[in-house]
Each structure stands twice: as structure tokens, then as C-alpha cells.
Structure 1
Amino acid sequence: MFKKNHVHLQIKKGEVRAIHLETDSSIVRTCAALSHPRTLMGEFFAIERCLKDVLDELLPKSIFSLSPIAIVQFIEKIEGGITNVEVRAFREATLGAGARHVFFAESSTPISKSQLLNFNFKQIEQP
């Protein structure tokens, strides 16, 4: 009865790419808040707004659609890696943007659609 929504969010410096896994539709948006020189998480509220705009544009509006399950993947290697504080901040921003669950893929290489839908990927431990 209810339509499932899975969204793959690929995040890199200055840009978010979102793919709706059920329909294969995708969009790419620039996000200035992702351009901090020392960390990927720049301004929290700007990133949350960017993610909300992306999800609102990507997902079909229907009373029979569930809020999306988001799988976040950091595409670029960040010097020193992603900290647990950044993971927590991205989790909170993604939930604030409308996701009902958030998972983080540890890989920076492409992950297939079937792996994403079956959660067959190594996950970053969340704080």
C-alpha cells in the first residue's frame, strides 16, 4: 500500500547528488556550505536546507509515500577522514531534511543499486 522511498545521497565538496533508487531519477545541486576548507560539514543549517530542497524536488509527493530512507556516501576522501562529529551532524541534517532513517556507506567508490537496496555495504559506525 505504501510506496517505499530509498535515496542515495552522494556528498562531496560543494555538491550533493541524490538518486531515488525506486525510480532512478537523480539531481545534482551545488551547496556552498559543503565548501569549508578544513571539513566537509560547513554551516549546519545551510546543509540541512540544501538536503531538504534536494529531497523535496526529487521525491514524488503522495499521501501513500513513506518518508525516505537515506543512504549517505561521502565521495571525496577528506584529509584525516570524516570525524564522528561530522557523521552525527550529517545524520541530524538528513533527518531534519525529512529522512526517517539514515545509513552511511563507508566506501568512496560506486555502490550498485542492488547493494544499496539490500544494505549490502560496509557502514560507518554512527555515534
Structure 2
Amino acid sequence: MLDYFRNTLYIAITSELIEITHAETGRKLAEPPLLAIETKRGRDSVIALGSMAKHLTGKPNVRIENGFSHPRTLLADFTAAQRTLAHLIKRVLPLGFFVRRPIVVMHPLTMLEGGLTQIEIRAFAELASMAGASRAYVWQGPSLTTEQLRKHSFPEQGRLLFP
């Protein structure tokens, strides 16, 4: 019963794909981290996300952004990444009158040579917070299972980081 009121999200990130798992329901969402932004009368608005955004490539007044694509780091454009993540989080959370802000475990999967710096850890945690998380953590280690997330038990082969 208490799990109904909890929202724990596990977000695995690469520059090509974001996978979000809602631990309590097991619901999963996987989308490319693309955002289609249309400019009309000098104002930008998000018109598509993920695979739908990819189909709008080349459309007039529309630009496609990937906030997770850079040659040196996974987090390239904070604003684009935050907007993308916020939209994806809304899509995976259960519908209802009272939906608690989620606890988010961010798991960057690429650009990890030498480990994450303190700046990267803080940036990923801040990204999750700005996208709607009540608490944000960064996981370094093997992929987590839904059961591990539900129980908040993390394997010893990794590290749960909190800035």
C-alpha cells in the first residue's frame, strides 16, 4: 500500500537513449533524448519529444536539440537536458490527483573514463531536481533492477552518490 504513494525513478542515460523505470509499478519508457522546438513569433515551444522529434528533422522553424550529446561529456546543454527529462518524467509517472514528486536515481552510462567528477555529479543531481525530483542521486556501477530500486538496496560493486 505504501508503494502506491512512492515514486522512485531509475534513469539510465546515454547520448542516444534515455531509459526510465518507475520502480513501484515496473513501468518503463525508452526514448532518444531529442527535443523538437518550434520558433513562432520569436517564442520557442516544445512540439515533440524523443522518436517523434526525430521525424520533424528539416521542418521549417523547427530545431532538434539533444542536451546529452557532446564529445567530452554526457551533459552538453543543461537547459535542453532539463526540458527533455521533465517531459519524460511526466510521461512515466502514474496519473492521479496527488502524485508525489519522485526520488530519482540518475545513471550515466557513457563518458565515464576516470569516473565522474564532483561537478558532473552535482550537475546530474541538479538536472534531476530541476526536472521535478524531490531527491536526486547519481549511481555509478552496474545497472539496477526494479527490485533493488523498490527496496533501496544498492549493490556493493557501485556507488550511490549524493552531492
2:152 partner SS: coil
In the other structure, the counterpart of 1:16 is 18
Kept in 1, the 8 Å contact 2:74–2:108? The answer is no
Inter-partner Cα distance in structure 2 for 1:14 and 1:39: 13
Inter-partner Cα distance in structure 2 for 1:66 and 1:46: 24
Identity %: 29
In the other structure, the counterpart of 1:100 is 134
Q: Report the residue type matching 1:74 in the other structure.
A: P
Question: Would the alpha carbon gap of residues 30 and 91 (structure 1) be closer, same or farther in structure 2, given more than 3 Å must change?
Answer: same
Inter-partner Cα distance in structure 1 for 2:135 and 2:71: 29
In the other structure, the counterpart of 2:95 is 61
> What is the TM-score when the length of structure 1 is the normalising length?
0.87
In the other structure, the counterpart of 2:70 is 36
Kept in 2, the 8 Å contact 1:3–1:66? The answer is yes
2:67 partner SS: helix
2:90 partner SS: helix
Q: Higher relative contact order by CA 8 Å / sep ≥ 6: 1 or 2?
A: 1
Structure number having the greater strand percentage: 2
Is 1:119 equivalent to 2:152 in the alignment? yes
In the other structure, the counterpart of 1:91 is 125
Q: For 1:26-74, what per-residue CA distance to the aligned partner results, in whole angstroms no more than 9, with x for missing partners?
A: 1112122111000011000111011101101111232232111111112
Q: What is the CA distance between 1:24 and its match in structure 2?
A: 1.2
Count of residue pairs brought into register by the alignment: 126
In the other structure, the counterpart of 2:109 is 75
In the other structure, the counterpart of 2:7 is 5
Question: Would the alpha carbon gap of residues 92 and 112 (structure 1) be closer, same or farther in structure 2, given more than 3 Å must change?
Answer: same
Deviating 4+ runs (over 6 angstroms): none
Question: Would the alpha carbon gap of residues 77 and 42 (structure 1) be closer, same or farther in structure 2, given more than 3 Å must change?
Answer: closer
1:10 partner SS: strand
Inter-partner Cα distance in structure 2 for 1:113 and 1:76: 21
> What is the TM-score when the length of structure 2 is the normalising length?
0.70
Q: For 1:50-106, what per-residue CA distance to the aligned partner results, in whole angstroms no more than 9, with x for missing partners?
A: 110110111123223211111111223523332111111111111111110112222
